[in-house]
Amino acid sequence: MSVGDGPTRPMVLVAAAGTFPAAILRELRAGLEEEGVPHELRPGHDDEPDPTVLAHRVARDSSLEVGVGLTERGIAVHHAKLPAGRPVTVDPDVNAEVARRMGHDAARVVTGVPLKLVTDEDHAAPGDAARRA
Amino acid sequence: MASGAPRLVVGVDIGNSTTEACCARVDDDGGVEYLGSGLAPTTGIKGTPDNAEGVRKAAGQALADGGCRWPDVDLVLTNEATPVISGLAMETITETVVTESTMIGHDPRTPGGSGIGVGTTVALADLAERAAGEDVLVVVPAAEDFEDVAEALVAAARRGVGVRGAILGGDDAVLVANRLEETLPIVDEVTLVDEVPLGMLAAVEVAEPGRTIRTLSNSYGIATLFDLDAEQTKMISPVARSLTGNRSAVVVRTPGGDITDRRVPAGSIALRGRSSTVSVEVDAGADEIMRALARIRPLVDAEGESGTHVGGMIAGVRDAMSELTGQRPDEVAIEDLLAVDTLVPQEVRGGLAKEVAREDAVLLAAMVRTSRGPMEQVAAEVRRVLAEEAQRVLEVEIGGIEAEMAVGGALTTPGSGEPIVVLDLGGGSTDAAHADTDGEVYSVHVAGAGDLVTTLIDAELGLDDKQVAEEIKRYPLAKVESFFHVRHENGTAQFFTEPLAPELFARVVVLTDEGMHAVPGRHDLATLRHTRREAKRRVFVVNALRALEQIAPGGTLRQIEFVVLLGGSALDFEIPDMIADAVAPHGIVCGTGNVRGSLGPRNAVASGLVAGHARGRRVSGAA
């Protein structure tokens, strides 16, 4: 909750259930930062073990409609308008590399850049997002 | 000739890639009732006995379509199948060789900071040893952590070292830039960062978002930074040229001016006409080659200068043709050529991030008319195969000149009339046939058609994937703008209730019959569309005009009234419009044929065979 922050700032919301090595969260946030998209951590979701469910929950709270869920069962990126069980991407591995990629993809859903997904190809064309009318 | 009951006649057109058939009832006074049509891939090379299987299939389809049976067939007519085979070759005609590791010009999606920095390249590990007052560019391996890198840069700057920029292996430029105390240009995702020469004077430039670099893409900009004289500036200019349009770049000055621009001799091509031979330098470009060709037309053969690029190209085409036709390479005569200027991406030697520069190239399509195929053998094999179907011997006739038949079929298009030109847009060649008002038919084949378009798209986009190129050629493009909608290339949006696959998100896609396929690579929609349309224009519009000029009475397009487009590429979603636009100023009615008012550009020759036969009956009946 952004208390006293005035109107909701555009943010990707990141929800983590339980505790994780600092490196995981750091890489996730680095991915978002490298893409230049602001984000905010939402702690206190320890009740939800499924990363996809968690990601969808915070995506619906996000003004950018994008959420990331991080639990010991994996990491997921979700969009508020996608059906609950159909995340943008989900990976059961919780490691630094996956976390970084998830950070990039969460940001790219916002900026409209082709996703990294599992195959780490750089398909993105510069100025892609600028095409939107 | 038997009279009385109408006869069941099957017309078969064996084409280079498809075999088309139709069946019809022809009565004694020449009346024709078409019953059905069929289409199958041509089996074997056109004009060889292998074609019989394709004939069996296509004709079988036509009969089934018309509700007829093999035993009831009275006559099978096939075209005189002279194979027209085409070959393609492409060669870059200039080659820029950038020796040593001298430049990095690429577009990481997210470079950091902005501005231009000049200094000596130094490894991150050695940064602590640099003295205050020294200007440096820091070279950072991919494995380094962004926070450590930022700390090291900040520490060095505080000591008074002039940190002017950084070159990173990983995708960390924004992360590092965000942790510095001043704005520095940082280039990242440099694949071969370990090969950046150290201890050399270098420059890093990063443009603001939405801008392109101004200094390193300008020869005099580089000359100013590195204090180059006129001779050195001349040598660095290819580097500046290949950096044009990038958002970020690095140029490292390696001692001794290791940059050279070398032109590989493209060679000349000798075009032999009936009475004279003209020689053209290939690097004069496609236009010059085509002008020379127009001067000596009709072409008897073409030779490339041996030991040069073009020599290899022509020899390659000749070998491929000889393999296909079984003729000796020296018997293969090239009857037409289409040269197309193109720019193809070439990996820059000495580049460190898989940079590509677009190099001039000439693409040549050559066409060979082989000696007339053993048609009697083909007919015999067709007879044998069809006898199996009909359980008796069928009458199989070779039914006249293909061009004449095509005109006959095209004239069944509602609204068409004479004088008419039929343009058959095939895979290998573009063929034109002209019927004047006396019914006299002339024909011409020019090199280059659908296959050449695919090759151009493949080469210019650097796809190296014929299937992807074929899809780009055949289907419209769209950009996936959200999980629920796409924007078509004409600007209209389409919404989907089912979410689109994440793999397609923000990608340019081709809208194939089986759904959306993402186009690989980083090309934007506008570039893809332009490349596709230009490829079609340079092949089909150029060839349509070339063929019409050769076939029009007195070479005057105004003498033609109707042009009917036939063949597979006449089904393309934009080629017919492009040709129609190009010939409209000459007062020509041009459009895709609609054979028998219902078959579109298909089945013209097969239908024409039957029509020709019916006319023959009417004439003989009247006599």
The per-residue pLDDT for range B104-150, each reduced to its tens digit, is 767 788 899 999 999 999 999 999 999 999 999 999 999 999 999 99
Distance CA A39, CA B425 (A): 56
Which of the two residues, B399 and B499, has the higher pLDDT score? B499
Q: Closest to B523 (Cβ–Cβ): which among A113, A125, A132?
A: A125
Taking CB atoms and an 8 Å limit, are A33 and B175 in contact across chains?
A: yes
Domain count for chain A, please give it: 1
Q: Of A24-38, A91-105, B36-50, B537-551, which range is least confident?
A: B36-50
Residue A23 lies in a domain: yes
B211 touches chain A (CB under 8 A): no
Residue A6 lies in a domain: no
Q: Of the candidates B435, B304, B290, B298, which has an alpha carbon nearest to the alpha carbon of residue B369? A: B298
Residue A3 lies in a domain: no
Q: Which element (helix H / strand E) includes B175?
A: helix B173-178
B481 touches chain A (CB under 8 A): yes
pLDDT at B622 over 50: no
Here the ipTM equals: 0.84
Distance CA B522, CA B461 (A): 10
pLDDT of residue B507: 97
Is B339:B367 a contact under the CB 8 Å cutoff? no
Contacts of B266 (CB under 8 A, 6+ apart): B91, B93, B94, B281, B282, B283, B308, B309, B310, B362
Residue A75 lies in a domain: yes
Beta strands at B356-369 and B84-92: parallel, antiparallel or unpaired = antiparallel
pLDDT of residue A31: 97
B122 alpha-carbon distance from chain centroid: 45
Q: Residue A114 belongs to a domain with what CATH number?
A: 3.40.50.10150
Residue A2 lies in a domain: no
B545 touches chain A (CB under 8 A): no
pLDDT of residue B157: 96
pLDDT of residue B255: 64
Radius of gyration of chain B (CA): 31
Domains of chain B in start order, with CATH, are 1-82+373-412+597-623 (3.30.420.40), 86-95+263-369 (3.90.470.30), 103-252 (3.50.30.70), 415-593 (3.30.420.40)
Highest mean pLDDT among A43-47, A77-81, B4-8, B357-361: A77-81
CB-count exposure of residue B393 (10 Å: 0-12, 13-18, 19+) = exposed
Put residue B207 in one of left, alpha, beta given phi > 0 → left and psi -120 to 50 → alpha: beta
Structure tokens at B396: 């199989």
Residue A111 lies in a domain: yes
Size of interface A-B (CB pairs under 8 A): 75
Min Cα separation A43/chain B (Å):
24
Taking CB atoms and an 8 Å limit, are B507 and A114 in contact across chains?
A: yes
Chain A residues whose CB is inside 8 A of the B520 CB are: 123
> For B475, phi and psi rounded to 5 degrees?
-125, 150
Is B183:B207 a contact under the CB 8 Å cutoff? no
The per-residue pLDDT for range B559-604, each reduced to its tens digit, is 889 999 998 899 999 999 999 999 999 999 999 999 999 999 999 9
pLDDT of residue B354: 67
Interface of B with A in 333-372 (CB under 8 A): none
Interface of A with B (CB under 8 A): 30, 33-36, 79, 81-83, 86, 88-89, 108-109, 112-115, 117, 122-132
Residue A120 lies in a domain: yes
Residue A88 lies in a domain: yes
> For B470, phi and psi rounded to 5 degrees?
-65, -40
Q: Which range marks the domain in which residue A85 is found?
A: 12-131
Model pTM score: 0.84
Per-residue pLDDT of chain A (133 residues; tens, 9 = 90+): 444 454 578 999 999 988 788 889 999 999 999 999 999 998 778 889 999 999 999 999 999 999 999 998 999 999 999 999 999 999 999 999 999 999 999 999 999 999 998 744 333 333 333 322 2
